[in-house]
Amino acid sequence: MDGLEALCLGLQRYAYPCRYGDLVKDYRRPVPQLCLAFNWVTNFIFDAHKHRLTTLEQHWLAPQQLRIYADVIHQKGAPLNNCWGFIDGTVRPICRPGEHQRVAYNGHKRVHSLKYQSVTSPNGMIANLYGPVEGRRHDAYLLRESGLLTMLEGGSHDAEGNLLCIYGDPAYPVRPQLQAPFPTANITPEQAAFNRAMSKVRITVEWSFGDVINFFKYTDFKKSQKILLSSCAKMYMVSAILTNAHTCIYGNNTSSYFELQPPSLDEYFQ
């Protein structure tokens, strides 16, 4: 099986959690070969392109681009004029593990799960992805373990050196490069208006989480997510990379909402 055929197989299986036996007729190959090809594609994409989600050192995240993102978000009604992206965590359900069930259990969602942290930009792209960690962990734990604040200290500014930030929900601490809503206790009308306006634009980060599992449903099929038997984290990372590639070609709800084009496929993978 050549690389193109293996990629088609990988895309088909990521798009929907079909069994290898169901693909034998399409690819005219035995199940063991299909399994090897799928694993090869997953490993190749992960090894060659994971840096596109684990570092902010991308040309489409250059200082001049971040200023454009901040301006677009501000024009959409955000009170902040220096916010270029949004951060949030997501809980991905997994098959109940045979061991360490309490560690993987998320009491809020009432499901065994893994958690990921994502930063998105107004052009619809996933700029950074960290994880997984155990489902019981708080978003603040992911932030600390990811080292994202250190990355932002070095790269969250415009071409003139002006400080830029990302925005998250109340679970995150307030830092120069990371802003969050005002606490609701004793909140003033002006602060409440700020929170409402920022919430309207921050919701787009959740759209990106939805895109990953809508386009590549394999990672949303809980029975296939077995932490001791399959590479759950690697497959979710690959799904996010493929989601970015899909966004480069077709755009998405976020890019349409902010009226901002994502990079081309060639620009993203250069």
Asked if residue 43 and residue 134 are part of one domain, the reply reads no
What does the alpha-carbon distance between residue 105 and residue 92 come to, in Å, rounded to a whole number? 11
Asked if residue 120 and residue 29 are part of one domain, the reply reads no
Q: What is the pLDDT of residues 114-147, one digit of tens each?
A: 889 999 999 999 999 998 888 778 889 999 999 9
Angle at the Cα of 243 from the Cα atoms of 129 and 25, rounded to 5 degrees? 125
Q: Give the confidence band of 228 by pLDDT, cuts at 50, 70, 90.
A: very low
Asked if residue 79 and residue 64 are part of one domain, the reply reads yes
* Residue bearing the bigger pLDDT, 25 or 231: 25
Neighbours of 69 (CB within 10 A): 24
Q: What is the pLDDT of residues 28-38, one digit of tens each?
A: 999 999 999 99
Q: In this predicted structure, which of 49-63, 97-111, 229-243 has the lowest mean pLDDT? A: 97-111
* Residue bearing the bigger pLDDT, 27 or 165: 165
Boundary-marking domain end, from 48, 66, 83: 48
Q: In this predicted structure, which of 50-64, 213-227, 249-263 has the lowest mean pLDDT? A: 213-227
State the pLDDT at residue 109.
Answer: 65
Asked if residue 10 and residue 102 are part of one domain, the reply reads no
Average pLDDT on 197-219 reads 92
Residue 247 predicted with pLDDT over 50? yes
Asked if residue 162 and residue 31 are part of one domain, the reply reads no
Question: What total number of domains does the chain contain?
Answer: 2
Residue 230 predicted with pLDDT over 70? no
List the one residue out of 212, 215, 221, 203 whose CA is nearest residue 258.
203
Asked if residue 170 and residue 65 are part of one domain, the reply reads yes
Asked if residue 203 and residue 74 are part of one domain, the reply reads yes
* Residue bearing the bigger pLDDT, 159 or 113: 159
Average pLDDT on 106-114 reads 69
Q: What is the DSSP string of the chain?
A: --HHHHHHHHHHHHHS---HHHHHHHHT--HHHHHHHHHHHHHHHHHHHTHHHH-S--GGGSHHHHHHHHHHHHHTT-S-SSEEEEEEEEEEE-PPPSS-HHHHEETTTTEEEEEEEEEE-TTS-EEEEEEEEETT--HHHHHHHHTHHHHHHHH-B-TT--B-EEE--TTSPPBTTEE-PPPSTT--HHHHHHHHHHHHHHTHHHHHHHHHHHH-GGGG-GGG--TTTS-HHHHHHHHHHHHHHHHHHH--HHHHHHT-PPPPHHHHH-
Asked if residue 200 and residue 227 are part of one domain, the reply reads yes
The structure tokens 């994880």 sit at 131
For 122, the token pair is 């107004």
Q: Give the confidence band of 103 by pLDDT, cuts at 50, 70, 90.
A: low
Asked if residue 99 and residue 19 are part of one domain, the reply reads no
For the chain, percent of residues with pLDDT exceeding 90: 72
Q: What is the pLDDT of residues 185-196, one digit of tens each?
A: 999 999 999 999
Asked if residue 79 and residue 16 are part of one domain, the reply reads no
Asked if residue 114 and residue 70 are part of one domain, the reply reads yes
Q: In terms of residue numbers, what domain contains 34?
A: 3-48
